């Protein structure tokens, strides 16, 4: 299987939102093969807990504005690893240290990468 067009649209919204808040090292993985209920994982790094929270909040806000329903959110209070589950798209916003420690790229290395399309003109206001 491959990621759906809807999942790719959600990815573009989430990636643009993450970029606007200083999200770094964006990697999208097509996990539709091994995970039948999810199409794409988006991995994003933030430099601090405050940055991680701002990135996660912006992604959530923009996806909700676009009409997508959040199914689950975890880790927002600690802001070291925030998981946002929007069904077809699951976003992992990591503090840099947690991203290295948990190494999701290694765990899912057999999954193909999905190009991350960041729309130009996104505001970078904090």
Query: Given the structure tokens 């199409």, which residue do they identify?
Result: 39
Task: Evaluate if residue 124 carries a pLDDT over 50.
Answer: no
What is the domain partition of the chain in residue ranges?
A: 5-114
Give the span between the Cα atoms of 90 and 10, in whole angstroms.
10
Residue range 45-61: mean pLDDT, rounded? 97
Closest of 97, 31, 21, 4 to residue 59, by C-alpha: 21
70 phi-psi bin (left φ>0, alpha ψ -120 to 50, beta other): beta
- Would you place residue 117 in the very low, low, confident or very high pLDDT band (cuts 50, 70, 90)? confident
Domain 5-114, CATH: 3.30.460.10
Q: Using one digit for the tens of pLDDT, what is the confidence trace for 31-41?
A: 998 988 899 99
29 phi-psi bin (left φ>0, alpha ψ -120 to 50, beta other): beta
């Amino acid at each position: 299987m491959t990621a759906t067009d809807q999942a790719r649209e959600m990815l573009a919204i989430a990636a643009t939102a993450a970029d606007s808040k200083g999200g770094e090292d964006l990697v999208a993985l097509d996990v539709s093969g091994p995970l039948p209920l999810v199409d794409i994982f988006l991995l994003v790094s933030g430099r601090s807990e405050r940055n991680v929270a701002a990135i996660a909040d912006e992604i959530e806000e923009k996806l909700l504005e676009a009409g997508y329903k959040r199914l689950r959110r975890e880790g927002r209070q600690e802001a070291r690893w925030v998981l946002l589950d929007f069904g077809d798209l699951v976003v992992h916003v990591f503090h840099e240290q947690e991203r290295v420690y948990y190494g999701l790229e290694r765990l899912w290395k057999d999954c193909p990468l999905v190009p991350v399309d960041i729309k130009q003109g996104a505001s970078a206001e904090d």
